[in-house]
Amino acid sequence: MKKKSIMIQGTGSSVGKSLLCTALCRIFTQDGYRVNPFKSQNMSNNSYITAEGHEMGRAQVMQAEAAGKAPRAVMNPILLKPTSDHRSQVVIRGKVFDTKDAIEYYEFKPRLKSMVQEIYDDLANESDIVVIEGAGSPAEINLKQDDIVNMGMAKMAQAPVLLAGDIDRGGVFASLAGTLLLLDEDEKKLVKGVIINKFRGSLDILQPGLEMLEDIIHLPVLGVVPYFHLNLEDEDSVTDWDKFRSNQQGEIDIAVIKLPHISNFTDFNVLKLHEDVHLRFVGLEDDLGRPDVIMLPGTKSTVADMEMLWKSGMAKKIQDSHEKGSFIFGICGGYQILGREILDPDHVESSLDGIKGLDLLDIVTSFRGEKTTVLSEGEDQIFHAHVKGYEIHMGETVLLEGTSPLIQVTSPSERSLQSYDGAVSGDQTVFGTYFHGVFDSSAFTREFLNRVRNARNLAPLPNKVQDYWQYKDEQYDKLADVVRESLDMDQIYRIVEAGLDG
């Protein structure tokens, strides 16, 4: 039986490949097909843990959810997690393999091709349609050799390619035509059409340009997708941070510290659904102001970011803000930063033996070689709400005498025989947890926000927000509606059916 697939590549990073793939996953699923997403190689510190304890990129998690499938690491078999400008942790089949610099990985990459082919074939055998996402641009002419994520992947999968360009950043006609110009002849034959993404304005004015573009590239424009605002998770490290600001000026000012190696910043997406929240991201050199809540997010390099917090003066600003009444909440690496010390005797993360933390929680974290990757759930010990999330961290955190845990863990039972997670200060103004996704529980989040409101002499608000898990499902339907209306889906189905013979 012929394996059917479609691949979205882009003229560059952040042109909308992930969301277009998510939309196609949902559309094909709505139309009755068995769909799986695939991206052979992803680079992101914003990762997720599967039910099997495997690590993968969040874009393929989003796409799997849109297809009604449980996320699996085979959907993203290679994940690169930058630890510096030149080195990345290499995760293969969901497990940490090694840490390599760019040259080491470039020399190692050809050995991965057969693995990618095998994993893809297995996934295709259980699918009616595989939706494949490329990475960056296929026109990076210095990286074409041994490519396994753009045209190299399209050849392995025998997948027709749709090329997407972002009109909002300008120069979309040149970027589409220029990308095709830099492709080899056999690569050009893989491209069956182009998509204009993030359009604002009049289609009547744009239409003559579309016709001229088709004459130049000899390919159809399969649709123009409008610029839209949906609360879906963007994993890109070059994300426009302003998109994460609340539109409304909520009564509770929440400042998320933009750590140099920030990861899993999508933990805070759900906060935008609460009408009394004003969410903002603050760089280390920025004015912190007087926030009601300071959030410390996850980080790929806790020790290095702690060092930068001290050097920049932001650590002192956070301490002073807490003294003046700000609540503090840390997740994963942010939780570790809140403690007395972060110890790294084996130099797992850095060349330092350790570093002083913010000393806002009586905890000490020690880094060891083993990485914790697990889905967890339980009940928080302050508001007694059900919470669930995923843990992905190096290091073990010990609560010192008199410190109370935040969450009683009920699942999984094999979680290092520990039945508790996180910590909370005695006055319940500083909270920390390893649970990514803790705010997805609307009951917990509303109770926490009401605790902040009470401290500000504001009346509590009822919980009007559904849990984020159900909310996201509605967002996938809305995304599918927008993209289905914008694209020539009949032509896309013909492309899928014909494959490379079309």
373-403 pLDDT tens trace: 787 889 999 999 999 888 888 888 999 988 9
Q: What is the pLDDT of residue 238?
A: 36
> Taking 80 as the threshold, does the pLDDT of residue 412 lie above it?
no
Lowest mean pLDDT, pick from 30-44, 231-245, 338-352, 407-421: 231-245
Q: How far apart are the first and last CA of the chain?
A: 17
Amino acid at 173: F
Q: Annotated catalytic, 25?
A: no
For helices 17-30 and 468-486, give the axis angle rounded to 10 degrees: 90
Give the alpha-carbon dihedral of 447, 465, 376, 39, to 10 degrees: -140
- Mean pLDDT (whole number) for 27-40: 97
CA distance 443 to 386: 8
Mean pLDDT of the chain: 91
Task: Determine contact, residues 15/197, Cβ cutoff 8 Å.
Answer: yes
Give 136's Cβ-side CA count (13 Å radius).
Answer: 14
* DSSP notation for 241-284: GGGGS-SS--SEEEEEE--TTEE-GGGGGGGGGSTTEEEEEE-T
> Taking 80 as the threshold, does the pLDDT of residue 231 lie above it?
no
Can you read off the two tokens belonging to residue 107?
């020399």
Amino acid at 51: A
Q: What is the pLDDT of residue 347?
A: 84
Task: Determine contact, residues 180/163, Cβ cutoff 8 Å.
Answer: yes
CA distance 420 to 404: 9
Q: What is the pLDDT of residue 254?
A: 97
CB within 8 Å of 393: residues ≥ 6 apart = 298, 332, 333, 336, 371, 372, 434
- Mean pLDDT (whole number) for 147-153: 96
93-112 pLDDT tens trace: 999 999 999 899 988 989 99
Backbone angles phi, psi at 229, to 5 degrees: -120, 105
Q: What is the pLDDT of residue 235?
A: 52
Catalytic: which of 261, 278, 332, 393? 332
Radius of gyration over alpha carbons of the chain, in Å? 23
CA distance 139 to 136: 9
> For residues 230 and 133, which has the higher predicted lDDT (pLDDT)?
133
CA distance 367 to 94: 20
> Taking 80 as the threshold, does the pLDDT of residue 78 lie above it?
yes
* DSSP notation for 167-218: STTS-HHHHHHHHHHTS-HHHHTTEEEEEEEEE-S-HHHHHHHHHHHHHHH-
- Ranked by mean pLDDT, which of 4-8, 55-59, 260-264 comes out on top? 4-8
Kind of pairing between the strands at 420-421 and 407-411: antiparallel
> Taking 70 as the threshold, does the pLDDT of residue 62 lie above it?
yes
Q: What is the pLDDT of residue 247?
A: 43
**Cα–Cα distance list, 72 to 33, 76, 119, 344 (Å):** 19, 8, 11, 31
* Confidence bin at 239 (pLDDT 50/70/90): very low
- Mean pLDDT (whole number) for 429-443: 94
Catalytic: which of 274, 278, 322, 436? 436
> Taking 90 as the threshold, does the pLDDT of residue 9 lie above it?
yes
Q: Which residues pair with 253 in a beta bridge?
A: 278
Q: What is the pLDDT of residue 214?
A: 97
Q: Annotated catalytic, 436?
A: yes
- Mean pLDDT (whole number) for 165-188: 96
**Burial class for 353, CB neighbours closer than 10 Å (0-12, 13-18, 19+):** exposed
**Burial class for 166, CB neighbours closer than 10 Å (0-12, 13-18, 19+):** buried
Give 82's Cβ-side CA count (13 Å radius).
Answer: 14
Can you read off the two tokens belonging to residue 441?
């529980």
> Taking 80 as the threshold, does the pLDDT of residue 206 lie above it?
yes
The structural domains of the chain, ordered by start, are: 5-39+60-68+111-232+473-501 (3.40.50.300), 252-457 (3.40.50.880)
For helices 17-30 and 58-66, give the axis angle rounded to 10 degrees: 20
* Confidence bin at 242 (pLDDT 50/70/90): very low
> Taking 70 as the threshold, does the pLDDT of residue 1 lie above it?
no
CA distance 421 to 378: 9
Lowest mean pLDDT, pick from 333-347, 381-395, 408-422: 408-422
DSSP 400: P
